[in-house]
A = this chain, B = another copy of it.
Amino acid sequence: MEKKQNTAEKKAVILLSGGIDSATTLAIAKSLNFATYALSFSYGQRHSVEVDAARRIARYFEVCRHLIVNIDLRTLGGSALTADIDVPKNRDLRDVSQKIPVTYVPARNTIFLSYALAWAEVIGAADIFIGVNALDYSGYPDCRPEYIAAFEKMAQLATKSSVEDNQPMRINAPLINLSKEQIIQKGLKLGVDFSLTHSCYDPSADGSACGACDSCLLRLNGFRSAGLKDPVRYR
């Protein structure tokens, strides 16, 4: 169901995974007065609790629409998040940002941004928001500023609106230079309820987090640095 919206508002597509970063990114887009269109993916990930978290956050922020697209990355293989490879646990956080881990999903952000681009064109949005960040980025190549800039350039050549209407597509990555601690603080200031979010790569059936995968470690460290207690449940 489409929510009523001011037709003068600019529209934005926000990639919403259900984690801290994308929730904060959605809050930023709202604070900039965009009419927000949240896009999530169900991609055969072990952690489909992510999608539930995305639903809660989309509802909480009263987005105009929340679209969940089914994509089958398992067909392609190649990652601990989609195939039968063990999620690494209790790694040294200094290692986390060094080498690309097995949880890396090949070309994931490229696929996600491509769908966002398609949807943006259909609804007439010229802005896409993605919550990548380059500091605590877990070593994924598609979280770097130069990657985002290159995607934006490609997007501006790819679409009908950019060719016919001279409405260049912008890829906004407002967290790109923030630490997890800074993201949490920014999110809190913008009213994000972090108890709704989910980050764990290896959650229990009841949704509680493992506290030991890279994503949990980065999250816990972020809350610790901010002097706060993480409101989600750990097992």
* A100 x B141 contact (CB < 8 A): no
Nearest-neighbor residue (CB-CB) of A73 within chain B: B118
* A122 x B160 contact (CB < 8 A): no
* B121 x A106 contact (CB < 8 A): yes
**In the complex where A106-B118, A118-B106, A122-B106 touch, is A67 in contact with B71 (Cβ < 8 A)?**
no
Instruction: Give the CA-CA distance A108 to B118 in the complex, in Å.
Output: 7
Instruction: Give the CA-CA distance A75 to B127 in the complex, in Å.
Output: 20
Which one, B78, B111, B154, contacts A154 given CB within 8 A?
B154
Instruction: Give the CA-CA distance A72 to B76 in the complex, in Å.
Output: 16
Interface SS of chain A: helix
Could you tell me how many residues of chain A have their Cβ less than 8 Å away from some Cβ of chain B? 44
Q: Is A181 an interface residue (CB 8 A)?
A: no
A141 neighbours in B (Cβ, 8 Å): 157-160, 162-163
How many copies of this chain does one complex carry?
2
Nearest-neighbor residue (CB-CB) of A157 within chain B: B147
Nearest-neighbor residue (CB-CB) of A146 within chain B: B157
Instruction: Give the CA-CA distance A159 to B153 in the complex, in Å.
Output: 17
Q: Is A6 an interface residue (CB 8 A)?
A: no
10 more CB-based (< 8 A) A-B contacts, given A78-B122, A111-B111, A146-B157: A69-B76, A78-B118, A107-B114, A109-B158, A110-B114, A111-B115, A111-B118, A141-B163, A150-B150, A150-B157
In the complex, 19 of the A-B residue pairs with CB atoms within 8 angstroms, ordered by the A residue number, are: A67-B75, A67-B76, A69-B72, A76-B115, A76-B122, A106-B119, A106-B122, A106-B160, A107-B115, A107-B118, A108-B118, A109-B158, A110-B118, A110-B154, A111-B115, A141-B162, A142-B157, A142-B158, A142-B159
Residues of A within 8 A of B (CB): 67, 69-73, 75-78, 100, 104-111, 113-115, 117-119, 121-122, 141-142, 144, 146-147, 150-151, 153-155, 157-160, 162-164
